[in-house]
Chains A and B, each alone.
Chain A
């Protein structure tokens, strides 16, 4: 989103603008900015006001502002429309929204404005954007698209912007199906509709969708959305003629008749039916006959589908290029028709136990077009049968043999001639040194190799692989417990372009070896050192990897603040940091990270017992923070949580289990500011009914774990559950099952909420040392 590119784009699109050739575009943009500033100034004032409130902790002030807030209750999601707000008139701006805005003061436009030094000319009093062609605004909006808040701000500037934005938007991800009618009437050009956030979707809604976006809709996603039926699907398939993609994953209740309805979508190219456990060959047969253009189908975990359905699919849908048949009870019978598919590029046969070596030989040439093959967990495929599947596929790039038969030299030999091979995953296989040496002799140069949890990986074998495949970008040697410093040395020596290295639980590797990683592999973006001996010196060297975005240091008991301060200084691109049970960490480490890594999105500080509110205060300066796990940090209080709530607007996942000092005072700012919060774990905290009830103002909230809350009463819980309309999953103590009225539970379930009743007894605090011991016991 550089200024140059904006200038270029606008300049280029000037040709498009026929109506406004006589208008100086820079003036136009200046005017737009002026309008924005007008709106923003009062907002900023309000924001300051609010910040005072929150800092002073005068939560009672909330009531004072509540009159104007109620109108906007619930429209918080990034993609959520603000139609209510605009209908109320633009004079009344929502405080919550204003608070968010200063960071996104349409930086594009003001930046462009500053770079152009033309004097300001006052145009006529009308909105000059009426004279700018929509195409130009669309281009600007395309560039803004990455920033949903900016788009929102844009649409709230004036009526014409609102209208333009409505026309521009083509993807929609509503939070509740109740909003669908208004949303669909506002956005007529929706091509992609994502309903995964709706706790349920009724047939009526689908019917509405099918009428509103009859011709425009191309893609719809229902995965994780229950409670629609055949009937709604039928309306959709019949009315939306141009629909190309349907995702029906996890619709476990879906019957064959629903697939018969889907088969009416004649232009369908992509269909996902993962975990549709009730469908059978008949339904798949309908789809096969109806959707001849199908290119992508996922049938993972559709246990009712067998050889016949798959065979028919392969016969009828000649254009298939992606086929996921994981865990299906299929046998070799359907493979012969699959092997005749001319365009098949990716075939996933994970966990198809019915496929055996014996009759694979019939295939002879297999699928020639295959680029990616996954035969994980197919224990019955060995070096005898594998060649039949892949011999013809000289373009094979990716092969997954995880949890399969032992990787011996004869198995590895099958792949010797596949020169295009880039990625091989052998997770969980028994691997011999000979096998690894043979892999080293392949004519392909691997980019990715995964040996996680492989038994039998030794220094010798691993070294022979990495010295030959020097172009490796990703290497996973998780739980290869026999390897020592020697392996790390040879890895770092030969594979200097590694971007991802996972060395979790390689317990024989000493702390000196990690220095090598930092010294030699500067391109690392992902580094997993969970459960290792790495110490501050290692981290100091690792901090040289300036591209590092994900760093996992869970259960690294040797690291202290010093090492992390190095990381904070060196790795400014850090997005993800895992400090699970790295107990020596204190506030100063978190402060260094928060200051050094402004793009931090996820941090796990679970069971870092010295963490206090100061850490949270420093983290509140990370505006992108989405996930915060501070489980078991008993020193943090509501005050710290308040700072995070105010500072981290994007917070979606919060785990404050066993934070005993967090009470209702922490929930209120959360309810107020963290409007993107989807998931919260409050078990063992001091939160009561009142705190929970206040959370109901977060309309995104879908997942709530509230076990062992002392202040929770059945009546309060009932009120909470009723008030939080968007809940999809609630974990509760089993005792509440009988205390809640059955009718209420039924009602909530019909609303799309799923209950999990837990009756686990409170566990004693685990000694971190015993973690180590348990893991070591597993060593052979």
Chain B
């Protein structure tokens, strides 16, 4: 049913929130589950209506359809995302590993209503890949609703979660580690557990947290008994120094090298490694860099790392590959046939810092990317995209014009070339500009 409705299912915000709240209820209570499902159904129906409405209206508002379509698409995509997440969450609560049972407290809507606004602040989701013109970074992820509780038998594991960001590269670090098979315990989390954004849940209200420490801070609000030093201390300190068996993790994806059934199995060191590995390798890259609109990531931290450097790679090839060093670009061009250096349009003007490439330039960026799409054929682009994982990142072609695109592209930047004050040739420029599309193109292929 869900897959049928994905295409046409915009949802009103209120409904989303309700559903989000509904999914908060972590319970085995089948009645709660039923509630969830019925809400889902209800929501999908409402979405259906909305889409119908949109279809009906489309004929009338032909005036400036681009913006409207974009908004609608955003709405639909966002809501679809939320539905999917809800569905996963709801299903996740049924998993056998869900031993970290929250008290089956009040699956009713009234109670969870108080957390309503918190959960879903934006219309973005991890699955609406390919269309996020206004992606503001990682804030959305933390806001994603969660209904999965992951089994936590040992406090040690939770400790890793606290240091989530510091450890995000651990996957690479432990690459060289060679543990003798059998000397460690292999754990394998399920896909849903891995994808769940929250791992710590309040036993009273059910709110989810990423970090144990944050949960403990939250718990203080539930009563004085949670304010004692003991309750606020790190759990593993209490657990003493009893020797624990080394734990290593396996990726649930069959055929992956990190899967325990693989011939050359290489275990993952921590839960965080598992999460990052799974997202990077087996999930869609749903976070798009808002600056370049090209580079995609599945781990939010990767996006943040990229954004720090995005725009600094100023050596651009016509294929879209960027390089931080000029000699690397020239080596690349010398190697491939038909690739040519791309000259940034800005060179004629004052040099624009990377900060200028924000939302203000959105429309021109779009024009630029149109040019780019015309310029490079699909095969070369995809080839590069796959081959640049090592070094090159797909940078924003906006603000650049590719020499290959002369035949088709418009000359968005040319009118800004300095002209002599008494030039009598303005008209000549105009007739050439008018033929080409100079509007921001909102649709992407």
Interface residues of A (CB under 8 A from B): 200, 202-205, 207, 227, 229-231, 234-235, 238, 255-257, 259-261, 263-264, 281-283, 285-286, 289-290, 308-309, 311-312, 315-316, 746-747, 750-751
Contact = CB atoms under 8 A, between A and B. Distances in A.
Given A204-B429, A257-B347, 17 more contacts: A202-B423, A202-B425, A204-B427, A227-B420, A230-B348, A281-B326, A282-B341, A282-B343, A283-B341, A286-B341, A289-B338, A289-B339, A308-B330, A312-B334, A747-B422, A750-B422, A750-B423
Contacts of A281: 326, 330, 341
B333 A289 contact: yes
B195 to A, nearest CB: 44
A204 B425 contact: yes
A761 B155 CA distance: 92
Nearest to A203: B425
Contacts of A311: 330, 334
Nearest to A200: B420
Interface string B312-333: 0000000000000011001001
A257 B411 contact: no
Contacts of A207: 428, 432
A747 B339 CA distance: 42
B334 A315 contact: yes
B435 interface: no
Contacts of B422: 746-747, 750-751
Nearest to A278: B347
A152 B424 CA distance: 31
B345 interface: yes
B115 interface: no
A750 B334 CA distance: 41
B295 to A, nearest CB: 22
Nearest to A261: B406
Nearest to B420: A750
B439 interface: no
A256 B347 contact: yes
B407 interface: yes
B348 A257 contact: yes
Interface in B387-427: 401, 403, 406-407, 411, 414, 417, 419-425, 427
Of B343, B401, B407, B423, the most chain A CB neighbours within 10 A belong to B343
Contacts of A203: 425, 428-429
A260 B403 contact: yes
B87 to A, nearest CB: 51
A231 B431 CA distance: 13
B340 interface: yes
A238 B408 CA distance: 12
A398 B422 CA distance: 49
B343 A260 contact: yes
A256 B348 CA distance: 9
A747 B341 CA distance: 37
B343 A256 contact: yes
A231 B417 contact: yes
29 contacts: A202-B423, A203-B428, A204-B427, A204-B428, A229-B419, A230-B348, A231-B411, A235-B432, A238-B406, A255-B348, A257-B343, A257-B401, A259-B343, A260-B340, A261-B406, A263-B403, A264-B403, A282-B341, A285-B330, A285-B333, A285-B341, A289-B338, A289-B339, A308-B326, A308-B327, A311-B330, A315-B334, A746-B421, A751-B422
A286 B428 contact: no
A309 B341 CA distance: 10
Pairs of residues from A and B, 9 with the lowest C-beta to C-beta distance, nearest first: A204-B425, A204-B428, A289-B340, A750-B420, A285-B341, A260-B403, A308-B330, A750-B422, A282-B341
Contacts of A746: 421-422
Range class of the B interface residue count: 20 to 34
A261 to B, nearest CB: 7
Given A207-B428, A281-B330, A264 B406 contact: yes
Nearest to B338: A289
A315 B341 CA distance: 14
Contacts of B406: 234, 238, 261, 264
Nearest to B326: A308
Contacts of B424: 202, 204
Of A227, A260, A263, the most chain B CB neighbours within 10 A belong to A260
Contacts of B423: 202, 750
A746 B432 CA distance: 28
Interface in B339-392: 339-343, 345, 347-348
Contacts of B425: 202-205
A255 B432 contact: no
A80 B13 CA distance: 76
A43 to B, nearest CB: 37
A264 B405 CA distance: 10
B325 to A, nearest CB: 10
Nearest to A289: B340
B375 to A, nearest CB: 12
A362 B326 CA distance: 24
B343 A286 contact: yes
B324 to A, nearest CB: 14
Contacts of B334: 311-312, 315-316
Contacts of A289: 333, 338-341, 403
A746 B421 CA distance: 8
Nearest to A235: B432
A308 B427 CA distance: 40
Nearest to B336: A289
Interface in B33-75: none
A148 B428 CA distance: 34
B417 A286 contact: no
A259 B339 CA distance: 15
Contacts of B420: 200, 227, 750
A231 B403 contact: no
Given A203-B428, A231-B417, A263-B403, A290 B330 contact: no
Contacts of A231: 411, 414, 417, 429
B428 to A, nearest CB: 4
A234 B348 CA distance: 15
Nearest to A234: B406
Contacts of B421: 746-747, 750
A218 B345 CA distance: 29
A202 B422 CA distance: 11
Of A231, A264, A281, the most chain B CB neighbours within 10 A belong to A231
A282 B344 CA distance: 10
Given A231-B429, A260-B403, A286 B414 contact: no
Nearest to A309: B330
A204 B426 CA distance: 8
Given A263-B340, A747-B422, A751-B422, A286 B347 contact: no
A679 B342 CA distance: 43
Nearest to B316: A282
B320 to A, nearest CB: 15
A290 B347 contact: no
A222 to B, nearest CB: 16
A312 B333 contact: yes
A202 B429 CA distance: 11
Contacts of B327: 308
Contacts of A229: 417, 419
B403 to A, nearest CB: 4
A234 B436 CA distance: 15
A263 B340 CA distance: 10
A251 to B, nearest CB: 14
B411 to A, nearest CB: 7
Contacts of B417: 229-231
A504 to B, nearest CB: 44
